[in-house]
Amino acid sequence: MSWPRSQLLEIGDQTWCPSWLHQHEQFSLTRLWNLKVPGWSRGSLATQACSVVEEHLQDLSSYTILDICAGAGGPTPVLESEINKKLESEGKKPVQFILSDLYPHHEEWSRISKKQQNVTYIENRVDARAAPRFAAKGMKECRIFNICFHHFADEDAAGILKNNIESADAFM
């Protein structure tokens, strides 16, 4: 039996939502990614995502990871820290992470990139349906979406996946 499609909507997705509320929503989501509940979870969702990335991307040092819908940073700062800590202990080159979004959070991204040298950001708006390749020449590009896919209508999601297949080497 097939179920009808359901699309979850967040306040920040609404056209009437003021930018300050959208930004607050993004900060809240970032905090949820990094929430640790002692005795209930094995680290935060972000630290658990690290093991998924490590399991599925061979030779991580050859990748640039682009967070195509980064919001206020989401799990990317934790991913960068945890993954690169492990690579450094193995004597490998660090992975570069890039934050991008249709609605960039310059202030927050600037704060993150000042604290973490392997995180940079794209200042201009990036439409995930038509994103160019951002990895340096000779590097592979993996695009991560975290939990943002529920924001997209079917047509947009199809365009995003098509762009990833044509422009990136991997996506998660």
Whole-Å CA distances, 64 to 29, 50, 70, 155? 23, 15, 15, 27
- Residue 130 is given by DSSP the state G
Which domain, by its residues, includes 94?
17-171
Question: What number of CA atoms fall less than 13 Å from residue 77's CA on the CB side?
Answer: 17
Identify whether 10 is part of a domain: no
Residue type, 152: F
Identify whether 33 is part of a domain: yes
CA diameter of the chain: 51
Identify whether 12 is part of a domain: no
Count of structural domains within the chain: 1
Identify whether 141 is part of a domain: yes
Identify whether 37 is part of a domain: yes
> Among the listed ranges 4-13, 23-32, 39-48, 117-126, which one has the minimum average pLDDT value?
4-13
pLDDT in tens, 40-64: 767 777 777 778 888 888 899 999 9
Identify whether 81 is part of a domain: yes
Is 144:172 a contact under the CB 8 Å cutoff?
Answer: yes
- Residue 167 is given by DSSP the state H
Identify whether 36 is part of a domain: yes
pLDDT in tens, 58-103: 899 999 999 998 888 888 888 899 899 999 999 999 999 999 998 8
- In the sheet where 170-171 sits, what is the strand order? 119-121, 96-99, 63-67, 140-144, 170-171
CATH number at residue 117: 3.40.50.150
This prediction has a pTM of 0.81
